[in-house]
Amino acid sequence: MLVLLKKESLVTHLFLRPKDPEQETWQGRRLGLESACEALSIDQAWSVDELDEGVLELLENIESVYFSFSQISEWLDPVSDWIGRLKQKVRQGISAPNKMCDLDDILHEQRLFKSAEEISRMRQAAQISVKGHLAAMATVLPGKFEFQVQAELEAAFVREGSPRVAFSSIVAGGHNACILHYTENRDEIKNGDLVLVDAGAEWQGYAGDITTTFPANGKFSSSQAILYSLVLKAQQAAISVIQPGVAFNVVHETSVKVLTQGLIDLGILKGELKTLIKNESYKRFFMHGTGHWLGMDVHDVGAYKHNQAWREFKPGMVVTVEPGLYISAEHSDMDSQWHNIGIRIEDDILVTDKGHEVLTVGLPRTVAEIEAQMSVFSALR
């Protein structure tokens, strides 16, 4: 447990397990008290065995205690106990904290705005993620199983220095791509399937998050190409509006407008554009948001609204942009040419002083680019 104590200056205290050679033989190495201060830049290290008495000492004559209210069930009992015990020392001239404050908003706001060092790490996480997606494209073939593509994807992450995935990888062929959080990755990929891969590498604590969609046999069918190009058009339009001063919801509204108009043009939706958007008719085929904050977690913390108003982009924020279309065979009223087509295209975008930067550059994105890249991979097999 980390305790940050602010009086005249800030002092850092860490409670951790001491060294124990016998236990470490079974359970792995421990940092120990002696190494913690130097390794972690901590002012004072304590044994966890000293937790209660140590925290009581640190909380003496402190006015406010900050902890995560999202973890309040874990903190409330020990904090209440510590405060109660300190109140019993009032006759000794010791005061107890009289305020319990939520740490979440403070930390979440700090995490929302990335420093130059954090941005460098996120660029690296993004580029490792790109290499993994290219490896998935290189290995996919009709007859392979989704988990085999996943294996090559994640092996590429590891080869590039990522110790783990940022979240459970999605490798969804054909109808499975119409399941938004499909993670079973166990089915055989069929000839004619589109394969949707949603995966990201973690690097030095920061997450990448990319979705690619490509044909297992290297060629889009005409229906697949039409819907894919529509999703790409929506994504490019949504990315283009990102700059300081633009409200977060504008990205989603932009993609919704493009997708809805495209579905009208294809005869999939019928009616007036404004009415269909107002009635959210597009949600039959595009039922999720267009993006989310990205950072130390894939769906990172940070408020999306202030005082019930969508917050505006500022430099240092990183957001994903991921429109999609999903038309399963369960849409029995649809022309079967559209059945079992699930498409999502996702990139990671940094808000800069003058606009934005796409961190996940390096992937083929248009139909022509994807088919050309798949042809190269096929020739190299």
For 240-285, how does the pLDDT look when each residue is reduced to its tens digit (9 = 90+)? Answer: 999 999 999 999 999 999 999 999 999 999 999 999 999 999 999 9
> Which amino acid, 37?
C
How far is Cα 290 from Cα 327, in angstroms, rounded to an integer? 17
How far is Cα 323 from Cα 269, in angstroms, rounded to an integer? 17
How far is Cα 218 from Cα 142, in angstroms, rounded to an integer? 10
Q: In what order do the strands lie in the sheet with 44-47?
A: 2-6, 10-16, 44-47
How far is Cα 374 from Cα 138, in angstroms, rounded to an integer? 7
For 307-358, how does the pLDDT look when each residue is reduced to its tens digit (9 = 90+)? Answer: 999 999 999 999 999 999 999 999 999 999 999 999 999 999 999 999 999 9
For 94-133, how does the pLDDT look when each residue is reduced to its tens digit (9 = 90+)? Answer: 999 999 999 999 999 999 999 999 999 999 999 999 999 9
Mean pLDDT of 289-294: 98
Class of domain 112-380: alpha beta
For 141-192, how does the pLDDT look when each residue is reduced to its tens digit (9 = 90+)? Answer: 999 999 999 999 999 999 999 999 999 999 999 999 999 999 999 999 999 9
Q: Provide CATH 3.90.230.10 ranges for the chain.
A: 112-380
Half-sphere exposure at residue 277, Cβ-oriented, CA atoms within 13 angstroms: 14
Closest CA relative to residue 216, chosen from 174, 169, 157, 187: 174
- Provide the 3-class DSSP secondary structure of residue 135: helix
Closest CA relative to residue 132, chosen from 104, 178, 169, 99: 169
Question: What does the block give as tokens for 79?
Answer: 């904090």
Prediction pTM value: 0.95
Mean residue pLDDT across the chain: 97
Q: Provide CATH 3.40.350.10 ranges for the chain.
A: 2-109
For 23-36, how does the pLDDT look when each residue is reduced to its tens digit (9 = 90+)? Answer: 999 999 999 999 99
Which H or E run includes 378? helix 367-380
Q: What is the pLDDT of residue 67?
A: 95
**Which residues lie below 8 Å from residue 329, measured CB to CB, with a gap of 6+?**
175, 336, 339, 340
How far is Cα 221 from Cα 213, in angstroms, rounded to an integer? 13
Question: What does the block give as tokens for 211?
Answer: 């979705």
Closest CA relative to residue 290, chosen from 207, 347, 372, 334: 347
Closest CA relative to residue 366, chosen from 216, 178, 236, 259: 236
Q: What is the pLDDT of residue 299?
A: 98
Which H or E run includes 348? strand 347-351
What is the per-residue DSSP string for 34-95?
HHHHHHHT-SEEEEGGGHHHHHHHHHTT--EEEE-GGGHHHHHHHHHHHHHHHHTTGGGT--
Q: What is the pLDDT of residue 75?
A: 93
Report the CATH fold assignment for 2-109: Creatine Amidinohydrolase; Chain A, domain 1 (3.40.350)
Question: What does the block give as tokens for 254?
Answer: 């932009």
DSSP 3-state helix, strand, coil percentages of the chain (rounded to 5)? 45, 20, 35
Work out the angle between the directed axes of helices 51-59 and 72-87 (0-180°, nearest 10): 70
**Which residues lie below 8 Å from residue 27, measured CB to CB, with a gap of 6+?**
none
For 25-77, how does the pLDDT look when each residue is reduced to its tens digit (9 = 90+)? Answer: 999 999 999 999 999 999 999 999 999 999 999 999 999 999 999 999 999 99
Q: Is the pLDDT of residue 7 over 90?
A: no
Q: What is the pLDDT of residue 381?
A: 84
